[in-house]
Amino acid sequence: MQTLTVTAARAQLGHWLARAVKGEEIGVIVGAQVVALRPVPIQAADYMETEYGLTREEADRATNRMKAETQIAKVKGELVSLDEIASSLPHAKRRRRQKQPRRAGKVHA
């Protein structure tokens, strides 16, 4: 196991996380303990409960309610498509970056 201080881990966190994702054992020393960096699988079955505190039945009821509300809004003409929004926006012209004038006394290769 590769062990690191918090400071060393923080300095190259992306690097150490990438190595951990590839299966390498990476640990960060925190006080008298070593905390492991490793991927954690997310279970779709318990995601709603873990993240939002909803049971599967509550999540299903919420989904059905949102679908029904969306359908009603669609029938009433209250929804706007992304194409309609995009067509109403002024199209931003691309600005070309102007070259900065060279400063006198500098040598450019």
For 43, residues 6+ apart whose C-beta sits below 8 A from its C-beta are none
pLDDT attached to residue 48? 80
> What pLDDT is stored for residue 69 in this prediction?
95
The pLDDT score that the predictor gives to residue 52 is 85
How does pLDDT run across 85-104, given as a tens digit for each residue? 888 887 745 555 666 666 66
Domain presence at residue 54: yes
Identify the domain containing residue 30 by its residue range.
2-37
Q: How many domains does the chain have?
A: 2
Residue 38 has pLDDT above 80, yes or no: yes
18 assigned to some structural domain: yes
Q: Mean pLDDT, the chain, as a whole number?
A: 84
Question: Which residue's structure tokens are 């881990």?
Answer: 9
Confidence of residue 47 (pLDDT cuts 50, 70, 90): confident
